[in-house]
Structure 1
């Protein structure tokens, strides 16, 4: 016996139902991807690039007041000693004008916390990016983003290659506010307050700078410890950079064209605290070349990882 065909109306209703179900399923699948991306959080590189791109000597900047510096010290201590107190840290950094971002780094696949002051007011205090894969032990500092071109890119690259590192990026052009925003030479800045508190809590520091080729044409890099004593890690970094093909001037061996960082305020504080501080200057020829920056990042990460 032949099976009777369904009526035309029921066929149309079945097709409509099937199409509706397909749309619902495809919509659910479309929703799934953004949800996953949202769980990963933003890409820190994008946010730091946006911060740097907006820097201008005409932007507002001010130093923190006494209470804000005390809050910053508390934030730095908590970041090191209470790594699981994310909500408390969000509140403390929020009181300083920072917005909290959390997620998984798309390059390292490690969890991160990023505190970002976007410069929407005169608290142009930059970014603090923390690798949460392990306990903090190293601070990578970028005091002149945008001005010392590509130091922020190198800083992020070193951070991503160095588990347990904190990336500290200034948030204003170094010539803003009559150069008060030059945080490497301003011991009243929030940058200095955070860096010093990190040093007090036994985190090693490396600070990244840049120089014009004409200022020291015989060198690609200058390694120093500022006012602090010469340390094994500084020697290892200098040797590593030389091994990577860079002409490296060692400030404890000879003069390096006034690029030794002797007046650097974070270096002076580190010397008083007997903490590790490395001051690294790179030529424009190195900083503009992505492959050369990559070699530098590999060297720094390898040497900073040595206990």
Structure 2
């Protein structure tokens, strides 16, 4: 049943500002004064939480036009051509309505760039978080933040555990824009354009989803490659999750309750490009518990981090 439309709530910018105040208030001692002239680096966790806090099916969303899609592809190529500088990437992402935030990640100490939708118009296109300590190798994708609850937290934790990774997070509720915001099934979306441009330039894709326990009670996780070929990394991820104590359904061995991602557009494009695509579905029991999520992240990172 469709929920009734309620009075407008706080904007995304207001939610982000409130979260900032709350975090600073709880993280500092009452008598602690900021060091004169010192500017705190932005925290990706806080900024991504602000992005996802106000997601609703009532939010605006539109697909990019052809010019914007071309700009997105150019931004990815500029990033990969020289990942150590922001001179070219910042203005390109700005053309797409994504604000640039740079600093050192407080959790890892590694330099990062976060390109984040401002939420000021219908270009609700999410976030691109880049580890600038090394040449990018892996794209970690969160197509349904807020809807597949805690997948954005899982994605950020995994990004922090996997150096040389890019985190790609959608920016709208999957039911917004009459369903066009379901970026995993919309090849016109900016998410898709960015994901495939990364893939065609040699980066592996790992995409995170969630399912209700009742939909596949025999499993804690489903590992598949969508329409793409089964690659060794998918088998290693499945084995790593099993070693961590999860009951894993391997889509290349068994049917997994229609959670195999066969209609996933990024998987279909990966099959055409002959690139690596891993589709991971995680049960609610494991997504809702922080310790369980940590186990999943450790298992995944162990298979994605270069030896």
Same fold (TM over 0.5): yes
CA distance in 2, matches of 1:46, 1:115: 13
Contact 2:83 / 2:134 at 8 angstroms: preserved in 1? Answer: no
Alignment of 1:285-296 (within 5 A): 285-296=285-296
Match of 2:180 in 1: 180
Cα distance, 1:31 vs structure 2: 5.2
Normalized per residue, the structure richer in helix is: 1
Contact 2:141 / 2:169 at 8 angstroms: preserved in 1? Answer: yes
Give me the TM-score of the superposition, normalised by structure 2. Answer: 0.88
CA distance in 1, matches of 2:243, 2:62: 42
Match of 2:70 in 1: 70
Contact 1:174 / 1:183 at 8 angstroms: preserved in 2? Answer: yes
Match of 1:84 in 2: 84
Cα distance, 1:136 vs structure 2: 0.5
Structure of higher CA gyration radius? 1
Match of 1:247 in 2: 247
Alignment of 1:42-57 (within 5 A): 42-57=42-57
Alignment of 1:128-207 (within 5 A): 128-207=128-207
CA distance in 1, matches of 2:288, 2:100: 31
Aligned Cα root-mean-square deviation (Å): 1.2
Cα distance, 1:247 vs structure 2: 0.3
Deviations 1:90-116 (A, max 9, x none): 100000000000000000000000000
Match of 1:36 among 29, 35, 38: 38
Match of 1:96 in 2: 96
CA distance in 2, matches of 1:302, 1:81: 27
Cα distance, 1:133 vs structure 2: 1.0
| Structure 1 unaligned blocks of 5 or more | 1-28
Number of residues paired by the alignment? 276
CA distance in 2, matches of 1:75, 1:146: 26
Cα distance, 1:224 vs structure 2: 0.1
Deviations 1:11-70 (A, max 9, x none): xxxxxxxxxxxxxxxxxx94526x4343xx210000000111011100000000000000
Moved over 3 A (4+): none
Match of 2:121 in 1: 121
CA distance in 2, matches of 1:79, 1:277: 21
Cα distance, 1:118 vs structure 2: 2.9
Give me the TM-score of the superposition, normalised by structure 1. Answer: 0.88
Deviations 1:236-274 (A, max 9, x none): 000000000000000000100000000000000011000
